[in-house]
Chain A
Amino acid sequence: MEELKYVLVFGLLHSSTYLAFSLGFSLILGVAKIPNLAYGALYVLSGYVAYELLTAVGLPFYTAAGLAVALTGVASLLIGEATIRPALKNPVGVFITTMSVAYILEEYFKMSMGLKPVTLPLLPGTVSVAGVPVSNQWILVASVSLAMTLALVLFLRRTGTGIAIRAVAESWEESLRLSINPLRVLRVTLLVTGLYAGMTGVLLSPLKALTPSAGWTPLFAAFAVVVLGGVGSIVGTAIASLIYGLVEQAVTFTLGSGLAKVVPLLLIVSVLLLRPHGIMGRGE
């Protein structure tokens, strides 16, 4: 019973970050119809930049974090301009170019930061949630993640740019007829997804140690969540993040953290084989 409580509390906390992180990934997948494999590397980039600004430059934490997030947004835009836009008509190509960016960044981090894991400072103190002690950092992570999700929903529903993004995700050609500039929309999307990856990076790096290859695990989680939920469906993504977070924590508490990375992916592969377009997704 005690364990179940832990699984539920930590499952929900993890789900919230998966939701915010996956929505960014889902956005670019919807608009450009390609998975941005460099998305995980952006998460790591943001963490390392914040770490460097904090330790080497000596900036206060919130300034360092804010700068790191902004820089990650710009990096995402530049990476997209250099590797996604020129190869838009070539999905195999984008797979390769974004994967290459991810490996370039990883190799660069290995050379500049070394293999030793680093962490950002943790928010001190704990609170008790339903009898389970939870670090304040987790409370911060969960509330910011939910705020980010809400902000994205409002952005996509209420603003002109947001509606343009949805139009382009629906159909690139049709949106041209509505005098929307899809390339501008793509740039906005790249910037927004970069900010989301960056935010998750600075929020989670105090909790999960940062290594040069740390980006792959959240990337594959986002991958799995988005595909499971159905591309473009926010409700589907929310359900999928819940499933992913809960299953992951259940496996962590019963079988150990090694398998916790694997079992949810296995689950997702089996669901996908039955429903190739995800829970809430539509066929093409």
Chain B
Amino acid sequence: MFARASITKRALRLLHGLLATAVLLLLPLLGLRGYWLDVITRVNIFLLLTLSLDLYSGTTFYLNLGIPFIAGSAAYTLALLNVYQKIPLELAIAPAVGVAILLSFLIFLPSLRVRGIYFSILSLLLPVIAVGIVTSQPFSLYLGGEGGLSYPALLYSYARSLPARERLPFLQLSYFYISAAVAIAAYVLTYKLAYSDLGFAMRAIGQDEVLAESAGIDTFKVKVVSFLASSTLAAVAGALYAAMRPPLTVDILVPANTLVPPLTAVVVGGMGSIVGPAIANYMLLIAYELLWDFVGRWRTVIFMALLIAMVVSKPQGVIFSLYLRVKSYLTTKLKSLKPR
């Protein structure tokens, strides 16, 4: 399969991994507070959605547009467990993720055999159906409807013992560290998976499914395993988001909110490369926040236009190819430093 990476390359990989981790974890110590800390926390959580989309759709080319459904079912399970069963959020995260994975798996399992655009169509219908259910009688009575479900946020019981002035900064900082730790772990695991033998098989499916099958790859099994991994990421993102940002509203299920940003990141970053979409996730979502000050509501229009221009002119994405160029430059630099 892939040739064993050389020592230089591995050293380099470790180096920028550590660098990225350090930068991310040190942000609060560098004076990042308040609003922007919140923004980075949210972007960290969105990284999971981006990775989820890229891991499955970027490699197998089965566009799974049902990401909001998976994230939303985890979020709603979490909220329901807390509101109606009085289970603390800290304990409810794991069962919520489990339920969401099970639910999406049960629904998607038959459709994993469906090929081509039918899979995307089916997957896009799911969040639409879910929005309809949440906002209509009689379910909206239990699910909060448009107003949302309210419950105390994650770690709020600890924060309550603090003086009132310190509560919000405490919560913001803890959320930031939780999200950063989860984002880093998710990135490392996804990267390993995407560049393992399984990831290779997934790419083979994306290239030509029939050929992959005749080459001895059990395509259905590969799709099931990668789908499970991908939906775990989306479910964790949904549960964390709901735990940190009550009240939970139907917004989490709306594709414009939870599908479009990760999709943009995956396409701009370079589908299937994991590295590109991850970088694009941070660049684009932070840019999206910054744009608000300059263009206000036009930012959505600008983003969408960028996405179209991207797909039309550079369907392979830009960030990943840029990244490869920087990497090869650094590798040659490092090699020239080595004593002969």
Q: Which residues of A contact B (CB under 8 A)?
A: 33-35, 82-83, 86-87, 90-93, 95-97, 99-101, 103-104, 107-108, 110-111, 216, 220, 223-224, 227, 256-259, 261-262, 265-266, 268-269, 272-273, 276-277, 284
11 chain-A/chain-B pairs, Cβ below 8 angstroms: A91-B116, A92-B61, A100-B308, A104-B300, A104-B301, A107-B300, A110-B297, A265-B128, A269-B126, A276-B113, A276-B114
Known: A95-B120, A104-B301, A110-B297. A268 touches B132 (CB 8 A): no
Contact pattern, B 52-90, Cβ under 8 Å of A = 1, otherwise 0 = 000001000101010000000000000000000000000
The yes or no answer to B312 lying at the interface (CB within 8 A) is yes
B304 to A35, Cβ gap below 8 A? Answer: no
Known: A103-B256, A269-B129. 4 other contacts (CB 8 A): A90-B311, A104-B304, A227-B121, A268-B125
Residues of A within 8 A of B263 (CB): 96
Q: Are B297 and A265 in contact (CB under 8 A)?
A: no
Chain A residue at smallest Cβ distance from B304: A100
Tell me if A104 and B136 are in contact (CB < 8 A): no
Contacts of A93 in B (CB 8 A): 311-312, 315
Given A82-B308, A104-B304, A256-B137, verify A261-B132 contact (CB < 8 Å): yes
- Please tell me if the beta carbons of A101 and B308 are within 8 angstroms of each other in the complex: yes
Q: A87 vs B311: C-alpha distance in the bound complex, in angstroms? A: 7
**Which residues from A are CB-within-8-Å of B292?**
none
In contact, B111 and A273 (Cβ under 8 angstroms): yes
Nearest B residue to A261, CB-CB: B132
The CA-CA distance from A108 to B133 in the complex, in Å, is 28
CA distance A269 to B128 in the complex (A): 12
For B120, the chain A residues whose CB sits under 8 A away are: 92, 95
Interface size on B, residues (CB 8 A): 41
Chain A residues closer than 8 Å to B308, beta-carbon distance: 82-83, 96-97, 100-101
The verdict on A258 contacting B132 (CB below 8 Å), with A96-B263, A104-B301, A269-B122 known, is: yes
B318 interface residue (CB < 8 Å to A): no
* Alpha-carbon distance between A45 and B129 when the two chains are bound, in angstroms: 24
Expressed in whole angstroms, the Cα–Cα distance for A182 and B315 within the complex equals 23
Distance in Å: Cβ of B312 to nearest Cβ of chain A: 4
**Residue of B whose beta carbon sits closest to that of A37:** B124
Interface string of B231-258 (1 = CB under 8 A from A): 0000000000000000000000000100
Interface residues of B in 227-286 (CB under 8 A from A): 256, 260, 263, 267, 271
- With A92-B63, A93-B311, A272-B118: A262-B304 Cβ-Cβ less than 8 Å: no
Nearest chain A residue, comparing its CB with the CB of B145? A258
Instruction: Give min CB distance, B121 to chain A, whole Å.
Output: 6
Cα distance A223–B121 when bound, in Å? 8
A87 contacts B312, CB within 8 Å?
Answer: yes
A7 to chain B, nearest CB (A): 19
Chain A residue nearest to B65 (CB atoms) is A95
Residues B114 and A262 in contact, CB atoms below 8 Å apart: no
Residues of A close to B315: CB separation below 8 A: 87, 90, 93
Q: Say whether A100 contacts B110, CB under 8 Å.
A: no
B interface residues, Cβ below 8 angstroms from A: 57, 61, 63, 65, 110-111, 113-118, 120-122, 125-126, 128-129, 132-133, 135-137, 140, 256, 260, 263, 267, 271, 297-298, 300-301, 304-305, 307-308, 311-312, 315
Q: In the complex, what distance in Å separates the CA atom of A93 from the CA atom of B300?
A: 19
Q: How far is the CA of A33 from the CA of B263 in the complex (A)?
A: 21
Least Cβ distance of B147 to chain A in Å? 15
Contact A256/B132 with A223-B125, A272-B114 known, Cβ cut-off 8 Å: no
Chain A residues closer than 8 Å to B133, beta-carbon distance: 259, 262
Report the Cα distance A171→B110, complex, angstroms: 29
Complex: chain A residue closest to B140, CB-CB: A258
Closest Cβ of chain B to A4, distance in Å, is 22
* Cα-based distance from A265 to B256 in the complex (angstroms): 20
Known: A261-B132, A262-B132. A100 touches B307 (CB 8 A): yes
A272 CA to B114 CA, complexed, in Å: 9
Q: Which of B116, B121, B263, B305 has the most chain A CB atoms inside 10 A of its CB?
A: B121
In the complex the two chains form, what is the Cα distance from A265 to B130 in whole Å? 10
Nearest neighbor of A98 in chain B, beta-carbon distance: B308
A258 engages B116 (CB within 8 Å): no
> In the docked arrangement, what's the CA distance between A266 and B65, Å?
17
B61's closest neighbor in chain A, by CB? Answer: A92
Q: Which of A35, A97, A258 contacts B121 (CB 8 A)?
A: A35
Whether B118 and A262, one on each chain, are in contact in the complex, defined by CB atoms closer than 8 angstroms, is no
Q: Which residues does chain B contribute within 8 Å of A87, judged by CB atoms?
A: 311-312, 315
A261 to B185 alpha-carbon distance, docked (Å): 40
Q: In this complex, what residue of B is CB-closest to A270?
A: B110
Contacts of B304 in A (CB 8 A): 100-101, 103-104, 107
